[in-house]
C-alpha cells in the first residue's frame, strides 16, 4: 500500500482509495490500465519516467500510440483532481515523459474490509493473482473461462496457482487439480483429467460427482470404476457404454457443465507442456462449446518447453487466443523491488547493492533466487534473521558458485542440443549476457549468418536466449542483439569450457570487437574490450582499455562505475611485469583516492596516506604533492587545523618540480585550499595571484585548466562571482576532453566543484532563476550517481538561497528532508539525504536556526545558533569561517528583532571585524548594514550614516546584488531620520529597483516571488 495524501494506492487489490477527514476509505473509480500507469509512476517517484519506459513496461510487445498514454494520464488527473498547469501529483515534461512529485508513505494497514492479500510467500505476483480473481468473478456470473499461466521453469507458476487456490478455499469454492507427469504424458491419455476426477470422487461431494459420472459420462466412469462405490459400480454395469474418443470428449464437457451449473467450479491442470494429445483435445473441445456455466479452467505450462516438447500445446494456445477463447498470464522474473521484498532489505546503499547482485545472478527467477540464497547461506557468505537476509562478508568477496541442483538441470538441457548449437551458445557466453552474431561467430568457427540463423531458431522457442534490441556497430552495420534468459545459463556454458579454449575464444572475440568499432569509437566498447583481452591474458591491452572506460565513467560523473572499473584494473595490474606493476598500481590508487575524496567517503583518508607512502617509494614528487593536497582536503572535513601541515608539505614538494608551470600549479593549489579551509589570508591570496602568471604562460593547457578550476574557489569567496563562472566554463571542458590523456587530474572533483560553484555563484549574483535551474541540474546529476555528500551540500546551498529570499517554509522542508527534526519526529531521512560529516550537519543546523527565527520562534532559533557558534569556534572544520558570516548576520538580526540591542551589537561588530579580514564585499556590506540598524536603535545616527555610506561605497565598486536592496532600504531610513527627504526618496527608488531585479530573475509564478515580495515588504 502506497499513500500520497489523501489517496492510497493498493496494488494487491488493484484499487485506488481516497481517505476522508474522518479517516475512512472510499474507492476511486479508475480504469485498469490507468491504474497500472499510476502504479508505475508511484513506484518510481521523483524521477522522470519517459514515454518509452512506460510503453515498454506496460504495453511490452504491443504497438501503442503515445496518445493512448496521454489519455490514461488525463484519466489519472481527473481521478486525483490534479491540475496539469499546477500539478500536485504528476508533473508533465512535454515530449519527454512524466514525474510523480507528491510525497509517498507506506501506511500501516488499519482497515479490515479489503479483499484478501496475496499469500505472504507470493512476492511480485499481486497483479497476476488479481487477474485470476477477476476471472473467478466473471465465472461466478456464468461466463466460463480458460486461463493459461506460463513462464520459464522455476518462475512461480505453481506458487501462483497454490496462492489462488488457498485464496478461494476461504470462500469454499469447489476445485480439483491434476498434473501432467514427464514420461507418462504420451502413454496414458487424459492423465491429469483422470487425476482431477479421482480427487473429486474422494472429496466431500463424492456421491454427487459419481451420480453425474454415471448419468452424464459413463465412459469416464468406466475409467474410474475402481474408485466408485459398490452401488455406483452396479449401476455402471447395467449400462451399455461406448468409450470412443469422440464420446468421451462430449461426455466430459457435459460433466463439467453439470458440476459448474449452480456454483463456480475451478479445475487446475499443471505442467501442460507434458500433456498427452487427448487432454489437449479435451481442452479445445470445451473451449469451443462456449458453455454458459460457472467453470474456471486454469492450466500452467513452461514457455521454454513449447517448441521441443509441446508443439501441439503451442498450436492450441495460439488458436484459442486468436479466437478469444482463452486468456494468458505470462510470468516474468521478479524485479528489483520484488527481490528486495523477498530478502526484506532495508533502504541502505549496501542492501540495494546486495539486492542488485541477487537479481543479476538469478535473473529474478524465484526458484533460482531461493536456491542461490540457500547455497550462499551454506558458505556463510550471507545469513537470515527472521526472514531478513543480509551479507556477512563484503559484496566484492561473495563468490557465486552455481548450486548443483540448478547446474544439473541446465546441463541436461544443454546436452540435448546438437553440437553446433552448443558451440554457438558457448562462444556467445564468452561475450557476455548480451551479444550480437558477428563478434562470437569466429570463436564458434562459423559465419556470422549461420550463427544468426541458429540464434533465431533458439529465440523462436525461447530456449536459452531471446531477442534483445537492434544495435548499430561503429562501422554503421545494423545487427540484432540477443540475451541469455538467465545469468546462470551463461555461467554453466562458461564453466563447461576448458581454460585454454576459453582464453582463445576471448582473444578472437576481442579482435572481432576491435574490428566492429573504429579507433575513435572504441571508448563506447572499452570495458567490453578490456574484459575480453584480460580474460585472454593479454593484460596490458586489457588494462589500456580499462583506463579508457575509467575516463568515460569520470566524464559522466559515474563514481560507482569508476570504482568497479578500478577494482577490475587492480586485479589486472597485478599480472603485469614487475617493472611496470608498482607504478601502475600507484596511479590506480590515486584514481581511487580522488573518487573517495569527491564523495567525501571516509576511506579517502586511508588511501591518501597509502598514496603518500607509495609515491615517496617511487620517487614521484608530483604524485606525492597531489597526495598531500588530497590528505589535507580529507582531514579538513573534521579538523581544519590538522589539514594545514599537509598543505604546507605540498607547497614544499613543489620545489622538487622542474617545470615552472607544474610548480606554480602545486603552489597555487596549496594556497587556495588553505584559504578555502581556514579563511582569508592576504599573503596566501598573494601567492595565488603570483603563481597565476607562470600557470597561464606555461605550455601545458591542461595544467593551466586544472589550476584555474581551483582558482575559481578564490573568486567565489572574494566577490568575483562572474569571473568564477567564466573560468569554470572556459576550463572544465578542456579537462573533460583530455581526461583519458591525463589521469592525474581529478576530473570528479573538478565536476563536483563546478556543479556546486555554479548555483552558488548565480545565487550571489542575484540571478536566482538561473541558480534554481543549476540546482535542479546538479541535483539530478548527483542523485543519478548516488553522491550523498554532494546532494546534502546542494540542499543546504539551496536553503541559503531561500534564506536570502525569505522563504522559511521552504527551508523547513529542506531541514525535514535532511533529518534535522528526526529526534523529535522519528522521521528518518532517505539514505541519499542523510547528513554525516560535521560541516554538512552544521550547514543544516544553521538553516534550522534561521528557519525557526523566520517562522517566529525567536528564542528557539537564537538558542540553536548560539550553540552552533560555540561549536564552530571551538572546533572549526572546512569553510566554517565563511558560514560564520551567515550565522552572525542571522543572530544580529534576530536579536535586534527581539529587542536585545546589546547582544545584537556584539554579533554585528563580530561580523564587521571578521568580514573585514576578507575581500568578500557582499558580507562586508551586509555586516555594515545590520550594524547600521543597531546604531539607529541606539540613536547614534552619525555612526549609522557612516556605516551605511561605507556599505554603499563598497557595493558601488564591486556590486553585491544580495546586499544592494537591503543597503538602499536602510539608507533611506537613515536619511529620513536625518530629515533629508530627497536622498531618502532616491534610496527608496533604488531599493525598489534592486529588489525588483531579484524578483524579475525568478520564473513567473514561482513561490519565491511571493515569499520575497512579503520578505522585503
Render pLDDT for 198-212 as a digit per residue (tens, 0 to 9).
Answer: 888 888 788 888 998
Cα 222 versus chain centre, distance: 62
Degrees to nearest 5, angle at CA 266 with 260 and 267: 105
Q: For 733-742, what is the mean pLDDT?
A: 73
Place of cell 563546478: 754
Residue 369 — very low, low, confident or very high, per pLDDT cuts 50/70/90?
A: confident
Please check the confidence at residue 497 and state whether its pLDDT lies above 80.
yes
User: Residue 106: what pLDDT?
Assistant: 59
Sign of the Cα pseudo-torsion (384, 388, 393, 395, in order): positive
Q: For 832-858, what is the mean pLDDT?
A: 94
Render pLDDT for 953-999 as a digit per residue (tens, 0 to 9).
Answer: 999 888 899 999 999 999 999 999 999 999 999 999 999 999 999 99
Domain co-membership, 973 together with 934? yes
- How far, CA to CA in Å, does 687 sit from each of 360, 384, 711? 53, 59, 11
User: Residue 625: what pLDDT?
Assistant: 93
Domain co-membership, 724 together with 793? no
Residue 195 belongs to some domain of the structure? yes
Asked which of 330, 348, 364 is the last residue of a domain, the reply is 330
* Residue of 738, 398, 61, 59 lying closest to 71 (CA atoms): 59
Domain co-membership, 933 together with 981? yes
The mean predicted confidence, pLDDT, of the chain is 87
> Side-chain half-sphere of 807: how many Cα atoms within 13 Å?
19
Burial status of residue 763 (CB atoms within 10 A of its CB: 0-12, 13-18, 19 or more): buried
Q: For 842-855, what is the mean pLDDT?
A: 96
Phi, psi (rounded to 5 degrees) for 343: -95, 5
Domain co-membership, 947 together with 892? yes
Q: For 801-824, what is the mean pLDDT?
A: 92
Cα 415 versus chain centre, distance: 39
Render pLDDT for 373-412 as a digit per residue (tens, 0 to 9).
Answer: 888 888 888 888 877 888 888 877 777 777 777 787 788 8
Secondary structure of residue 418 in the 3-state scheme: coil
Secondary structure of residue 84 in the 3-state scheme: coil
Phi, psi (rounded to 5 degrees) for 870: -60, -45
Phi, psi (rounded to 5 degrees) for 203: -80, -175
Place of cell 550471507: 382
Look at 330-344, 460-474, 491-505, 686-700 and tell me which has the smallest mean pLDDT.
Answer: 460-474
Residue 721 belongs to some domain of the structure? yes
Which letter, b or e, does each residue of 18-33 get, where b requires 16 or more Cβ atoms within 10 Å of its Cβ?
beeeeeebeebebeee
SS3 percent helix, strand, coil of the chain, rounded to 5, is: 65, 10, 25
Residue 524 has what DSSP assignment? Answer: G
Full domain range(s) for residue 286:
126-330
Cα 690 versus chain centre, distance: 46
Residue 405 belongs to some domain of the structure? no
Domain co-membership, 167 together with 288? yes
User: Residue 187: what pLDDT?
Assistant: 45
Cell of residue 614, nine digits? 607509495
CATH for 428: 1.10.10.10
Residue 899 — very low, low, confident or very high, per pLDDT cuts 50/70/90?
A: very high
Residue 520 — very low, low, confident or very high, per pLDDT cuts 50/70/90?
A: low
User: Residue 115: what pLDDT?
Assistant: 32
Residue 184 belongs to some domain of the structure? yes
Please check the confidence at residue 531 and state whether its pLDDT lies above 50.
yes
Cell of residue 988, nine digits? 527608496
User: Residue 116: what pLDDT?
Assistant: 34
User: Residue 130: what pLDDT?
Assistant: 92
Please check the confidence at residue 247 and state whether its pLDDT lies above 80.
no
Residue 371 — very low, low, confident or very high, per pLDDT cuts 50/70/90?
A: confident
Phi, psi (rounded to 5 degrees) for 858: -60, -50
Render pLDDT for 753-785 as a digit per residue (tens, 0 to 9).
Answer: 888 899 999 999 999 999 999 999 998 888 887
Please state whether beta strands 327-330 and 175-179 pair in parallel, antiparallel, or not at all (unpaired).
unpaired
Sign of the Cα pseudo-torsion (724, 726, 729, 734, in order): negative
Domain co-membership, 59 together with 195? no
Secondary structure element (H or E) that encloses residue 991, with its range = helix 981-1001
Domain co-membership, 95 together with 132? no
Q: Name residues whose C-beta falls within 8 Å of residue 1003's C-beta, 6 or more positions apart in sequence.
A: 769, 772
Q: For 182-191, what is the mean pLDDT?
A: 58
User: Residue 799: what pLDDT?
Assistant: 96
User: Residue 832: what pLDDT?
Assistant: 87
Burial status of residue 870 (CB atoms within 10 A of its CB: 0-12, 13-18, 19 or more): exposed
Residue 807 belongs to some domain of the structure? yes
Confidence (pTM): 0.61
End-to-end CA distance of the chain: 45
Please check the confidence at residue 60 and state whether its pLDDT lies above 60.
no
Residue 272 has what DSSP assignment? Answer: G
Q: For 159-168, what is the mean pLDDT?
A: 87
Q: Are 475 and 516 in contact (CB under 8 A)?
A: yes
Please state whether beta strands 295-302 and 265-270 pair in parallel, antiparallel, or not at all (unpaired).
parallel
Please check the confidence at residue 184 and state whether its pLDDT lies above 50.
no
Q: Higher-confidence residue: 460 or 949? A: 949
Domain co-membership, 307 together with 158? yes
Helices 245-259 and 206-216, interaxial angle, to 10°?
140
Domain co-membership, 834 together with 922? no
* Residue of 844, 396, 785 lying closest to 599 (CA atoms): 785
Q: For 721-739, what is the mean pLDDT?
A: 86
- The whole-angstrom separation of Cα 307 and Cα 463 is 9
Render pLDDT for 569-620 as a digit per residue (tens, 0 to 9).
Answer: 999 999 999 889 999 999 999 999 988 988 888 999 999 999 999 999 999 9
Q: For 729-747, what is the mean pLDDT?
A: 75
Q: Higher-confidence residue: 120 or 1014? A: 1014
Domain co-membership, 373 together with 437? no
Q: ω into residue 366 within 30 of 0, thus cis?
A: no
Degrees to nearest 5, angle at CA 168 with 164 and 169: 115
- The whole-angstrom separation of Cα 67 and Cα 58 is 14
Q: For 673-698, what is the mean pLDDT?
A: 93
Burial status of residue 681 (CB atoms within 10 A of its CB: 0-12, 13-18, 19 or more): middle
Secondary structure of residue 457 in the 3-state scheme: helix
Q: Name residues whose C-beta falls within 8 Å of residue 21's C-beta, 6 or more positions apart in sequence.
A: none
Q: Name residues whose C-beta falls within 8 Å of residue 486's C-beta, 6 or more positions apart in sequence.
A: 152, 362, 363, 365, 368
Residue 113 belongs to some domain of the structure? no
Please state whether beta strands 327-330 and 145-151 pair in parallel, antiparallel, or not at all (unpaired).
parallel
Secondary structure of residue 826 in the 3-state scheme: coil
Please state whether beta strands 327-330 and 382-385 pair in parallel, antiparallel, or not at all (unpaired).
unpaired
Domain co-membership, 134 together with 259? yes
The residues that bridge with 135 in the sheet, in sequence order, are none
Q: Are 409 and 153 in contact (CB under 8 A)?
A: yes
Residue 409 belongs to some domain of the structure? no
Domain co-membership, 774 together with 756? no
User: Residue 908: what pLDDT?
Assistant: 97
Cell of residue 282, nine digits? 479435451
Residue 151 belongs to some domain of the structure? yes
> Side-chain half-sphere of 392: how many Cα atoms within 13 Å?
13
Asked which of 878, 900, 917 is the last residue of a domain, the reply is 878
Residue 89 has what DSSP assignment? Answer: S
Cell of residue 583, nine digits? 607504478
User: Residue 182: what pLDDT?
Assistant: 61
- How far, CA to CA in Å, does 271 sit from each of 67, 306, 528? 40, 11, 40
Cell of residue 288, nine digits? 469451443
Asked which of 543, 561, 576 is the last residue of a domain, the reply is 576
* Residue of 524, 567, 520, 569 lying closest to 544 (CA atoms): 569
Q: Indicate the number of domains in the chain.
A: 8
User: Residue 822: what pLDDT?
Assistant: 86
Please check the confidence at residue 665 and state whether its pLDDT lies above 50.
yes
Amino acid at each position: 500500500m502506497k499513500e500520497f495524501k489523501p489517496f492510497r494506492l493498493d496494488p494487491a487489490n488493484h484499487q485506488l482509495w481516497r481517505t476522508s477527514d474522518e479517516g475512512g476509505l472510499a474507492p476511486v473509480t479508475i480504469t485498469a490500465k490507468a491504474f497500472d500507469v499510476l502504479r508505475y509512476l508511484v513506484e518510481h517517484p521523483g524521477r522522470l519516467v519517459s514515454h518509452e519506459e512506460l510503453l515498454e513496461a506496460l504495453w511490452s510487445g504491443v504497438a501503442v500510440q503515445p496518445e493512448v498514454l496521454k489519455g490514461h494520464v488525463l484519466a489519472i488527473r481527473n481521478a486525483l483532481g490534479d491540475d496539469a498547469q499546477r500539478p500536485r501529483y504528476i508533473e508533465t515534461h512535454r515530449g519527454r515523459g512524466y514525474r510523480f512529485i507528491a510525497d509517498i508513505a507506506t501506511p500501516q494497514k488499519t482497515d479490515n474490509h479489503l479483499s484478501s492479500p496475496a499469500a505472504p510467500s507470493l512476492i511480485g505476483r499481486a497483479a497476476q493473482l488479481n487477474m485470476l480473481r477477476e476471472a473467478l468473478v466473471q465465472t461466478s456470473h456464468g461466463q466460463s473461462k480458460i486461463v493459461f499461466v506460463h513462464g520459464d521453469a522455476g518462475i512461480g507458476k505453481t506458487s501462483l496457482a497454490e496462492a489462488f487456490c488457498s485464496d478461494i478455499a476461504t470462500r469454499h469454492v469447489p476445485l480439483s487439480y491434476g498434473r501432467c507427469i514427464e514420461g507418462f504424458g504420451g502413454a496414458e491419455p487424459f492423465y491429469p483429467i483422470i487425476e482431477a476426477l479421482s480427487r473429486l470422487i474422494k472429496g466431500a461431494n463424492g456421491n454427487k460427482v459419481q451420480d453425474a459420472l454415471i448419468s452424464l459420462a459413463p465412459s469416464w466412469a468406466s475409467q474410474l470404476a475402481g474408485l466408485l462405490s459398490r452401488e455406483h459400480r452396479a449401476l455402471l454395469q447395467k449400462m451399455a457404454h461406448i468409450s470412443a474418443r469422440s464420446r468421451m470428449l462430449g461426455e466430459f464437457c457435459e460433466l463439467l457443465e453439470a458440476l459448474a451449473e449452480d456454483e463456480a467450479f475451478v479445475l487446475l491442470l499443471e505442467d501442460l507442456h507434458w500433456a498427452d494429445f487427448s487432454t489437449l483435445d479435451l481442452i479445445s473441445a470445451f473451449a469451443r462449446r462456449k458453455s454458459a456455466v460457472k467453470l474456471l479452467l486454469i492450466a500452467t505450462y513452461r514457455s521454454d518447453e513449447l517448441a521441443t516438447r509441446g508443439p501441439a500445446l503451442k498450436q492450441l494456445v495460439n488458436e484459442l487466443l486468436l479466437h478469444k477463447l482463452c486468456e494468458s498470464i505470462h510470468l516474468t522474473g521478479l524485479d528489483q523491488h520484488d527481490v528486495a521484498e523477498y530478502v526484506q532489505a532495508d533502504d541502505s546503499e549496501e542492501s540495494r547493492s546486495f539486492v542488485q547482485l541477487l537479481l543479476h545472478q538469478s535473473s529474478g527467477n524465484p526458484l533460482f533466487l531461493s536456491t542461490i540464497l540457500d547455497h550462499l547461506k551454506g558458505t556463510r557468505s550471507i545469513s537470515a534473521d527472521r526472514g531478513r537476509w543480509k551479507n556477512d562478508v563484503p559484496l566484492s568477496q561473495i563468490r557465486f558458485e552455481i548450486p548443483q541442483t540448478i547446474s544439473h538441470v541446465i546441463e541436461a538441457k544443454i546436452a540435448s542440443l546438437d553440437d553446433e548449437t552448443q558451440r554457438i551458445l558457448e562462444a556467445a557466453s564468452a561475450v557476455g549476457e548480451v551479444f550480437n552474431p558477428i563478434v562470437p561467430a569466429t570463436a564458434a568457427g562459423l559465419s556470422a549468418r549461420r550463427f544468426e540463423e541458429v540464434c533465431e531458431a533458439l529465440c523462436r522457442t525461447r530456449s536459452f536466449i531471446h531477442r534483445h534490441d537492434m544495435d548499430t556497430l561503429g562501422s554503421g552495420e545494423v545487427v540484432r542483439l540477443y540475451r541469455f534468459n538467465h545469468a546462470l545459463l551463461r555461467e554453466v556454458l562458461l564453466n563447461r569450457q576448458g581454460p585454454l579454449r576459453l582464453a582463445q575464444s576471448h582473444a578472437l572475440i576481442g579482435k572481432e570487437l576491435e574490428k566492429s568499432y573504429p579507433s575513435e569509437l572504441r571508448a563506447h566498447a572499452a570495458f567490453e574490450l578490456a574484459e575480453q583481452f584480460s580474460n585472454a591474458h593479454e593484460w596490458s591491452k586489457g588494462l589500456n582499455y580499462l583506463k579508457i572506460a575509467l575516463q568515460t565513467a569520470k566524464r559522466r560523473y559515474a563514481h560507482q562505475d569508476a570504482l568497479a572499473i578500478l577494482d577490475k584494473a587492480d586485479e589486472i595490474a597485478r599480472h603485469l611485469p614487475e617493472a611496470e606493476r608498482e607504478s601502475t598500481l600507484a596511479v590506480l590508487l590515486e584514481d581511487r583516492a580522488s573518487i573517495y575524496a569527491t564523495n567525501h567517503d571516509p576511506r579517502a583518508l586511508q588511501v591518501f596516506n597509502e598514496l603518500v607512502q607509495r609515491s615517496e617509494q617511487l620517487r614521484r614528487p608530483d604524485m606525492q604533492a597531489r597526495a598531500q593536497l588530497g590528505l589535507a582536503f580529507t582531514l579538513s572535513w573534521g579538523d581544519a587545523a590538522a589539514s594545514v601541515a599537509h598543505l604546507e608539505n605540498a607547497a614544499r614538494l613543489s620545489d622538487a618540480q622542474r617545470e615552472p608551470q607544474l610548480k606554480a600549479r602545486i603552489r597555487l593549489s596549496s594556497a587556495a585550499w588553505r584559504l578555502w579551509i581556514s579563511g582569508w589570508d592576504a599573503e596566501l591570496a598573494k601567492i595565488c595571484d603570483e603563481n597565476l602568471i607562470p600557470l597561464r604562460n606555461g605550455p601545458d593547457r591542461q595544467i593551466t585548466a586544472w589550476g584555474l578550476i581551483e582558482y575559481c574557489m578564490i573568486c567565489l569567496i572574494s566577490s568575483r562571482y562572474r569571473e568564477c563562472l567564466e573560468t569554470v566554463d572556459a576550463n572544465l571542458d578542456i579537462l573533460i576532453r583530455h581526461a583519458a590523456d591525463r589521469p592525474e587530474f581529478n576530473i570528479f572533483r573538478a565536476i563536483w566543484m563546478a556543479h556546486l560553484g555554479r548555483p552558488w555563484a548565480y545565487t550571489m549574483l542575484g540571478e536566482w532563476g538561473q541558480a534554481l535551474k543549476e540546482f535542479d541540474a546538479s541535483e539530478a546529476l548527483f542523485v543519478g550517481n548516488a553522491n550523498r555528500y554532494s546532494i546534502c551540500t546542494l540542499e543546504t546551498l539551496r536553503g541559503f538561497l531561500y534564506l536570502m529570499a525569505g522563504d522559511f517554509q521552504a527551508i523547513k522542508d529542506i531541514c525535514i528532508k535532511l533529518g534535522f527534526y528526526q529526534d523529535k519526529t522519528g522521521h528518518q531521512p532517505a539514505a541519499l539525504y542523510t547528513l554525516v560529516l560535521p560541516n554538512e550537519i552544521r550547514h543544516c543546523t544553521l538553516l534550522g536556526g534561521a528557519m525557526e527565527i523566520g517562522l517566529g520562534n525567536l528564542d528557539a532559533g537564537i538558542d540553536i545558533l548560539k550553540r552552533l557558534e560555540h561549536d564552530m569556534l571551538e572546533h572549526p572544520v572546512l569553510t566554517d569561517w565563511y558560514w560564520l558570516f551567515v550565522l552572525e548576520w542571522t543572530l544580529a538580526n534576530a536579536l535586534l528583532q527581539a529587542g536585545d540591542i546589546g547582544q545584537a551589537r556584539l554579533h554585528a561588530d563580530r561580523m564587521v571585524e571578521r568580514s573585514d579580514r576578507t575581500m568578500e564585499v557582499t558580507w562586508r556590506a551586509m555586516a555594515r548594514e545590520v550594524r547600521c540598524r543597531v546604531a539607529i536603535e541606539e540613536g547614534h545616527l552619525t555612526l549609522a550614516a557612516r556605516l551605511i555610506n561605507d556599505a554603499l561605497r563598497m557595493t558601488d565598486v564591486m556590486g553585491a546584488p544580495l546586499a544592494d536592496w537591503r543597503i538602499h532600504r536602510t539608507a533611506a531610513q537613515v536619511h529620513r531620520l536625518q530629515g533629508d527627504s530627497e536622498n531618502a526618496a532616491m534610496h527608496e527608488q533604488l531599493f525598489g529597483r534592486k529588489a525588483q531585479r531579484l524578483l524579475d530573475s525568478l520564473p513567473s509564478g514561482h513561490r519565491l516571488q511571493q515569499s520575497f515580495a512579503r520578505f522585503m515588504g
